[in-house]
Chain A
């Protein structure tokens, strides 16, 4: 059992557990969605003075901040105690294409060229992280949800808007990876 846990988890185990998590939140009277926390942060910091969008009773969403806290702790625990080998076994074709982008695939859970502390000495890393984060935050709120809210919760409830959003996610992702990555890296 411990041997199984220490290995990367298979997709069918992970996918089932995510659905179970969504079910639990529904039974607790809540909705599964992570990006709404970003709006809550803005409201907590007084964003209501700048836009009525942030002028609401954020305390009704404070339960989700505890989910966030748990996610941080869970990430720490999984990385520290539940992982023997945390280098994702991506396909050989993907590794080859990453060589062309000068991104190493042999040493870490995330590419060291972007997510190691030493990478922060390059201005380009900062630009990529800042632009990437900005697009995530802006796009998720514009679309009214992210992967958890639309791709999992919304599609599970057979919502057409969520299907449109997920198609949008993929259009954006495909443009970035296939057209823009060769220019960026």
Chain B
């Protein structure tokens, strides 16, 4: 039953990504050229409501559906890993025009070459796991 809920949520996510054009290489390119408000509008609106939802959860101690408390762990404090990792991710995001979510959406939409992006992203993750202890974190 729970599996079906996650598939439905993923399905809705896929439809939103495709229909909002956030999964389009063109929109990512346009965003990095500051030539449209579209992507900033999407991320900004998601953020405004995201902040409101999380503040409501914290203020009113809203519980999960199964009754357990919702505890959102703070991210580990660091600068290097977020800045260096972020720059590397940004280079790839702009080049391939897709972040990890839309990669799956685009494969479903029938763009065969995106499978190469996915396999290479898995390889990139794997290589990170191999060399991570040698990197500044």
Q: Please report the number of residue pairs spanning A and B whose Cβ atoms sit closer than 8 angstroms.
A: 491
A contact residues around B127 at 8 Å (CB): 134, 138
Question: Given A72-B108, A73-B10, A74-B12, is A143 in contact with B82 using a C-beta cutoff of 8 Å?
Answer: yes
Query: Per a CB cutoff under 8 Å, which of B6, B12, B30, B113 touches A63?
Result: B6
Find out whether the CB atom of B21 lies under 8 angstroms from the CB atom of A88.
Answer: yes
Find out whether the CB atom of A156 lies under 8 angstroms from the CB atom of B25.
Answer: no
Give the interface SS of chain A, mostly helix, strand, loop or mixed.
Answer: helix
Find out whether the CB atom of B120 lies under 8 angstroms from the CB atom of A71.
Answer: no
Find out whether the CB atom of B42 lies under 8 angstroms from the CB atom of A144.
Answer: no
Which partner residue on chain A sits nearest B104 by CB separation?
A71
In the complex, A82→B18 CA distance in Å?
Answer: 10
Taking Cβ atoms with an 8 Å cutoff, the residues of A that contact B are 5, 8-29, 31, 34-35, 37-39, 41-42, 47, 50-51, 53-54, 63-64, 66-79, 82-83, 88, 90-91, 93-94, 97-98, 105, 109-111, 114-117, 119-120, 125-126, 128-144, 146-148, 150-162, 164-178, 180, 184
Give the interface SS of chain B, mostly helix, strand, loop or mixed.
Answer: helix
B contact residues around A156 at 8 Å (CB): 46-47, 50-51, 53-54
Find out whether the CB atom of A94 lies under 8 angstroms from the CB atom of B35.
Answer: yes
A contact residues around B95 at 8 Å (CB): 128, 131-132, 135, 176, 180, 184
Query: Per a CB cutoff under 8 Å, which of B90, B101, B114, B125 touches A34?
Result: B101
Query: Per a CB cutoff under 8 Å, which of B46, B90, B92 touches A19?
Result: B46
Query: Per a CB cutoff under 8 Å, which of A11, A64, A128, A158 touches B20?
Result: A11
In the complex, A180→B32 CA distance in Å?
Answer: 13
A contact residues around B89 at 8 Å (CB): 135-136, 138-140, 142-143, 146, 165, 168-169, 172
Find out whether the CB atom of B83 lies under 8 angstroms from the CB atom of A140.
Answer: no
Additional 6 contacts, C-beta under 8 A, given A70-B11, A143-B88, A172-B88: A8-B19, A74-B16, A91-B35, A140-B85, A157-B72, A169-B86
Find out whether the CB atom of A168 lies under 8 angstroms from the CB atom of B124.
Answer: no
Greatest chain B CB density within 10 A among A42, A143, A171 is at A143
In the complex, A65→B24 CA distance in Å?
Answer: 22
